[in-house]
Structure 1
Amino acid sequence: MKLLALTPALMGLVAFAQASTITYTTVTGFFLQDETATDASTFDYTAVNFGLLNRTYPADQKLKHAKELTQWERFYNQVEQLNDESHSDIEYKVLFLGRHGEGWHNAAQTYYGDAAWNCYWAEENGNSTATWMDAELTDNGVDQALVAHNFWQKEIDEQRIHTPDNYFVSPLTRTLQTANYTFTDLKFPKGAAKFSPLIKELFREGISIHTCDHRHPRSYIHDLFPEWPIEKGFSEEDELWNGVTAETSAAQDVRSTTVLDEVFFTSASSKKDSFVSVTSHSGEISSILRVVGHRTFSLNTGAVIPVLVKAERDAKAKATTTSVAWTTSAHCTVPPLTSVTACVCPSSAVPVTTPLVTDV
């Protein structure tokens, strides 16, 4: 589905959408993350070659020196063959979906506990020791991004992996920082695409009333990384966050479909740009996985999941408009009384649905 008229008035209440003409499916059998036996909570992508399975491919038969190639070289050749032999309305891409490293909002949620965080503290800009509105990375988060950096370099050096042809990044600060630490100063293979990520609004985290989901202005983002391109039409102020209404999972999946439609079938040579990096967030990556039909696979902060996606375009499909509602979220106006499983506001402070932070 394609979002229409992304205005504050509309996005604060309902997402209007036009049905997508592209169907996405995950092509399984290539990564450990595809398999139900793989436990996401303990999975370490750096220990298992990004999860790429050790196997032969149909495309190996056409290689003269297949035994001399690494697993990633042969897999890239397999993806190329899939694209070469497919109809013009079918496209295959490998999405490297990377979650940002730990941010100050993650640390605060751990400190306060889920219940108190969700119904009060997440609606604040921060406390006396930390700020989590559009949170920056903690020192631990920087270290996690550097783990990804070092692993990419190892894969380049030892596996001769084909590095991404295109890079995309969410506009939130923690993802911008993660992408920077991960890919800047890598010793890329000869002829590799330059790391110059396109900042795209719709790859952001699921939009809740939490201030960590409220992005900085466009000018702030540009000043952080002035050489990185920002997509056309990107607004100066955040028009999607209002501190009152939040995306439902259905609304977020509409958004994720829209942004994937902007990644696939982009040009006549789009099939050749088959490896794509997206630095994003846990909620948004979960949404993308739902859209492409992948099994649920939650990422730890700083982790990466590659997914082989088949996109099939229906040129004869007729556009239809639909709508997906957002929801209001009640929260406390003062620090709550909490239990293990729920948040309870003090009796003198009933839950409200107005923003705690007024400078939005």
Structure 2
Amino acid sequence: MSLLIPSECDFEDAHGNPNAEKMYEEKLSQLSLSEPDSFKWKFEVVPGFFVQSDPKTDDLNFRYTEHNLGRLLSWKEIKQKLADLNANANDNECYKLIFCCRHGQGYHNYIVDKYGIDQWWEKWNVLGRDGDIVYGPDAMLTELGINQAKENHAVWEKEINEHGAPVPAKFYVSPLQRSSWTLVYTWEGLRPYTNKAIVTENLRETIGPKPSRQKILQDRYCRKVCKIWLCI
């Protein structure tokens, strides 16, 4: 049975603020007009490659680990179609195959599961411990979170070795340690160590006062894995 089953916390993170995306799009549109030099790129998802891009897909019940990462085509077909799209693209267009990965369960997620989402927002989100668990600042992966990342590793290993999946040419990761460790456990042994992930400051969730969102990367985490996997 897959360990990568969405929880109440996962659903809240993805859908808890339905107005946020609309507000973001409106703000982006305004800034694109007032500051065109700062917003030169527009991004769109090309349908027909992965199940996840279909709005009808129920992300709470869909298990990408049991369905070849959700691809609708063989990797050979995906790579060929991607090449064809770029060959016929306008000068100001390009097509990329991008894999976005959520981190495994962190201790802050465990606290949400333990007390419920309402109690999280009423009390626990501004704290860093509950007397038993330390979950901030910069919550680490739980044992479940580590095993979730290892399950991702097994799926990717099979897709690469048995189905011809491409290994990403570049890796970018959030400075939060739960994301960085998810990357390490997922790609250990699948990617040459010479191609280190680039830690990108703004490639992360909302930056705010909550301890779970505060980073400790430069202080502690850097000494452990940066020499192996990360470039800061």
TM-score, normalized by the shorter chain, greater than 0.5: yes
1:266-285 equivalence runs, <5 A = none
1:79 paired residue among 57, 72, 82:
82
CA distance in 1: counterparts of 2:126 and 2:119, whole angstroms: 10
Q: Which residue of 2 aligns with 1:166?
A: 170
Where in structure 1 are there 5+ consecutive unaligned residues? 1-16, 55-70, 231-360
Q: Are 1:183 and 2:187 an aligned pair?
A: yes
Do the aligned partners of 1:166 and 1:193 also contact (CA within 8 Å) in 2? Answer: no
CA distance in 2: counterparts of 1:26 and 1:220, whole angstroms: 37
More helix by share: 2
Q: Which residue of 1 aligns with 2:56?
A: 37
Secondary structure, counterpart of 1:182 in structure 2? helix
Do the aligned partners of 1:101 and 1:174 also contact (CA within 8 Å) in 2? Answer: yes
1:131-170 equivalence runs, <5 A = 131-133=134-136, 134-170=138-174
Q: Which residue of 1 aligns with 2:17?
A: none
Do the aligned partners of 1:73 and 1:162 also contact (CA within 8 Å) in 2? Answer: no
CA 1:217/1:165 → structure 2, altered by over 3 Å: closer, same or farther? closer
Q: Are 1:110 and 2:113 an aligned pair?
A: yes
Aligned length: 194
Deviation at 1:219, TM superposition (A): 3.8
Amino acid at match of 1:215: K
Deviation at 1:209, TM superposition (A): 3.1
Deviation at 1:194, TM superposition (A): 4.9
Deviation at 1:195, TM superposition (A): 4.3
Q: Are 1:101 and 2:104 an aligned pair?
A: yes
CA distance in 1: counterparts of 2:216 and 2:163, whole angstroms: 38
Q: Which residue of 2 aligns with 1:90?
A: 93
Amino acid at match of 2:156: W
CA distance in 2: counterparts of 1:32 and 1:217, whole angstroms: 34
CA distance in 1: counterparts of 2:161 and 2:226, whole angstroms: 30
Deviations 1:84-124 (A, max 9, x none): 23233211111101000000000001111112211221111
Deviation at 1:210, TM superposition (A): 1.9
Deviations 1:35-93 (A, max 9, x none): 23311101111111111114xxxxxxxxxxxxxxxx10221121122112323321111
Do the aligned partners of 1:73 and 1:160 also contact (CA within 8 Å) in 2? Answer: yes
1:191-202 equivalence runs, <5 A = 194-202=194-202
Do the aligned partners of 1:100 and 1:178 also contact (CA within 8 Å) in 2? Answer: yes
Secondary structure, counterpart of 1:92 in structure 2? coil
CA distance in 1: counterparts of 2:204 and 2:216, whole angstroms: 12
Deviation at 1:171, TM superposition (A): 0.4
So what's the TM-score if we normalise by structure 1? Answer: 0.51
Where in structure 2 are there 5+ consecutive unaligned residues? 1-30
Amino acid at match of 2:60: S
Among the aligned pairs, what percent are the same residue?
29
Secondary structure, counterpart of 2:95 in structure 1? strand
Secondary structure, counterpart of 1:198 in structure 2? strand
Amino acid at match of 2:163: Q
CA distance in 2: counterparts of 1:90 and 1:211, whole angstroms: 40
RMSD of aligned Cα (Å) = 1.8
CA distance in 1: counterparts of 2:217 and 2:158, whole angstroms: 36
Do the aligned partners of 2:49 and 2:71 also contact (CA within 8 Å) in 1? Answer: yes
CA distance in 1: counterparts of 2:114 and 2:96, whole angstroms: 39
Deviation at 1:25, TM superposition (A): 1.2
User: Is the radius of gyration larger for structure 1 or structure 2?
Assistant: 1
Amino acid at match of 2:103: H
Higher-RCO chain (CA-CA 8 Å, sequence separation at least 6): 1
Do the aligned partners of 1:165 and 1:193 also contact (CA within 8 Å) in 2? Answer: no
CA 1:107/1:183 → structure 2, altered by over 3 Å: closer, same or farther? same
1:113-132 equivalence runs, <5 A = 113-132=116-135
CA 1:35/1:193 → structure 2, altered by over 3 Å: closer, same or farther? farther
CA 1:120/1:202 → structure 2, altered by over 3 Å: closer, same or farther? same
Secondary structure, counterpart of 2:202 in structure 1? helix
Do the aligned partners of 2:175 and 2:217 also contact (CA within 8 Å) in 1? Answer: no
So what's the TM-score if we normalise by structure 2? Answer: 0.78
